[in-house]
């Protein structure tokens, strides 16, 4: 039976650390502010935004929400982003994805000042992550690294497999593992004999977006398994990309869904916002 990696507990420690940092900045007369832009009425996006607002309150970060109708035009959204970039009270800007299909996400992300890009999606920040000289790390991959660290398992020299190659999780996750001297393989929909590769992984990160995709026969005995997936089943229950009940019998460590990676994503966002405020104020 594997040991559970408790994302709620670990994220609480991260947020407590951020709250202390924010309090220190406030003692110097520096407030910390995060602007969150949500377009449309996607229920999942609304849940995420509400969670981020609650975390801001806990960490002492000022939260500014801009809820725009689904009919918002590209020009209107770009104008808002430009306004927030120029607002000194705003240290971090987050545009909640996905956007309605008529909006160009790439153009919106490119319009965010890289120094306020607390999601680390801007090409400047992506490039910095590639060379290992970064100000911010993407929230979900950085949260995954913190979860791996909590196990006491060193990444150095380990076989690491990431299932998924998205710009948001898969690719940056692979880079962070590589920066820690892991031997990294990225798998995707065109990978041949996927199970043979995943069975070699000392550290396995599943970010494929398919319910219970990773089965016990795909996992090495004693592996660290990080489940990034968040899928809603027909009965309304949530599950990850890993068949949790089966895999937990084989893995050494495993994250649950919910309560694993999700809380860490939000905690890392808080850390990035505090870091942005510190950098912008020369601290």
Question: Has residue 275 been placed in a domain?
Answer: no
For position 207, which CATH number holds?
Answer: 3.40.50.720
Residues 110-124 pLDDT 10s: 999 999 999 999 999
- Residue 126: per-residue pLDDT: 97
**Token pair recorded at residue 145:** 């690294």
Residues 11-65 pLDDT 10s: 999 999 999 999 999 999 999 999 999 999 888 888 889 999 999 999 999 999 9
Whether residue 98 sits in one domain with residue 144: no
Whether residue 143 sits in one domain with residue 258: yes
Question: Which of these is catalytic: 113, 116, 117, 119?
Answer: 119
The end-to-end CA distance of the chain, in Å, is: 46
Question: Has residue 219 been placed in a domain?
Answer: yes
CA distances (Å), origin 34, targets 124, 214, 251, 265: 20, 36, 38, 15
Question: Has residue 8 been placed in a domain?
Answer: no
Question: Which of these is catalytic: 15, 96, 171, 220?
Answer: 96
Whether residue 98 sits in one domain with residue 38: yes
Whether residue 151 sits in one domain with residue 254: yes
Confidence of residue 1 (pLDDT cuts 50, 70, 90): confident
Alpha-carbon distance of 89 to 57, in angstroms, equals: 16
CA 181 from centroid of its chain's CA atoms: 21
74 as an active site residue: the answer is: no
For position 71, which CATH number holds?
Answer: 3.40.50.10860
- Residue 36: per-residue pLDDT: 97
Whether residue 46 sits in one domain with residue 109: yes
Alpha-carbon distance of 40 to 63, in angstroms, equals: 19
Whether residue 93 sits in one domain with residue 42: yes
By CB neighbour count within 10 A (0-12 exposed, 13-18 middle, 19+ buried), where does 128 fall?
middle
- The DSSP annotation for the chain comes to -PEE--HHHHHHHHHHHHHHHHHHHHHTT---EEEEEEES--HHHHHHHHHHHHHHHHHT-EEEEEEE-TT--HHHHHHHHHHHHT-TT--EEEE-SSPPTTS-HHHHHHHS-GGGBTT--SHHHHHHHHHT--S---HHHHHHHHHHHHTT---TT-EEEEE---TTTHHHHHHHHHHTT-EEEEE-TT-SSHHHHHTT-SEEEE-S--TT-B-GGGS-TT-EEEE---EE-TTS-EE-SB-HHHHTTT-SEE--SSSSHHHHHHHHHHHHHHHHHHHHTT-
- Residue 52: per-residue pLDDT: 95
* Number of structural domains in the chain: 2
Question: Has residue 214 been placed in a domain?
Answer: yes
Question: Has residue 9 been placed in a domain?
Answer: no
Question: Has residue 11 been placed in a domain?
Answer: no
220 as an active site residue: the answer is: no
- Residue 165: per-residue pLDDT: 97
Question: Has residue 215 been placed in a domain?
Answer: yes
Whether residue 212 sits in one domain with residue 258: yes
CA distances (Å), origin 238, targets 97, 244, 261, 269: 20, 12, 13, 23
**Token pair recorded at residue 132:** 């290992």
Whether residue 148 sits in one domain with residue 237: yes
Whether residue 173 sits in one domain with residue 95: no
Residues 268-282 pLDDT 10s: 999 999 999 999 999
Whether residue 178 sits in one domain with residue 103: no
**Token pair recorded at residue 162:** 């990431």
**Structural domain harbouring 87:** 29-115
Whether residue 250 sits in one domain with residue 168: yes
Whether residue 254 sits in one domain with residue 146: yes
96 as an active site residue: the answer is: yes
Question: Has residue 18 been placed in a domain?
Answer: no
């Amino acid at each position: 039976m594997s040991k559970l990696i408790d994302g709620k507990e670990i994220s609480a420690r991260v947020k407590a650390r951020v709250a202390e940092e924010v309090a220190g900045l406030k003692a110097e007369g520096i407030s910390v502010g995060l602007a969150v832009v949500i377009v449309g009425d996607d229920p999942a996006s609304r849940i995420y935004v509400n969670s981020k607002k609650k975390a801001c309150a806990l960490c002492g970060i000022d939260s500014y929400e801009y809820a725009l109708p689904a009919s918002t035009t590209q020009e209107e959204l770009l104008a808002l982003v430009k306004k927030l970039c120029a607002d000194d009270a705003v240290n971090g800007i987050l545009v909640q994805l996905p956007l309605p299909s008529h909006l160009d996400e790439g153009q919106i992300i490119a319009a965010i000042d890289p120094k306020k890009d607390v999601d680390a999606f801007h090409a400047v920040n992506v490039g910095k992550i590639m060379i290992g000289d970064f100000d911010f790390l993407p929230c979900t991959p950085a949260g995954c690294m913190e979860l791996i660290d909590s196990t006491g398992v060193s990444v150095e020299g380990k076989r690491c497999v990431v299932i998924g190659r998205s710009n948001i999780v898969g690719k940056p996750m692979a880079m962070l593992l590589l920066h820690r001297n892991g031997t990294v393989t990225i798998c995707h929909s065109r990978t041949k004999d996927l199970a043979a590769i995943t069975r070699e992984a000392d550290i396995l990160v599943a970010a494929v977006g398919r319910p219970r995709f990773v089965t016990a026969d795909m996992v090495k005995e004693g592996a660290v398994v990080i489940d990034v997936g968040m899928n809603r089943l027909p009965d309304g229950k949530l599950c990850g990309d890993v068949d949790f009940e089966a895999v937990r019998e084989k893995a050494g460590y495993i994250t649950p869904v919910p309560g694993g990676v999700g809380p860490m994503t939000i905690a890392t966002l808080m850390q990035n916002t505090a870091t942005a405020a510190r950098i912008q104020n020369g601290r």
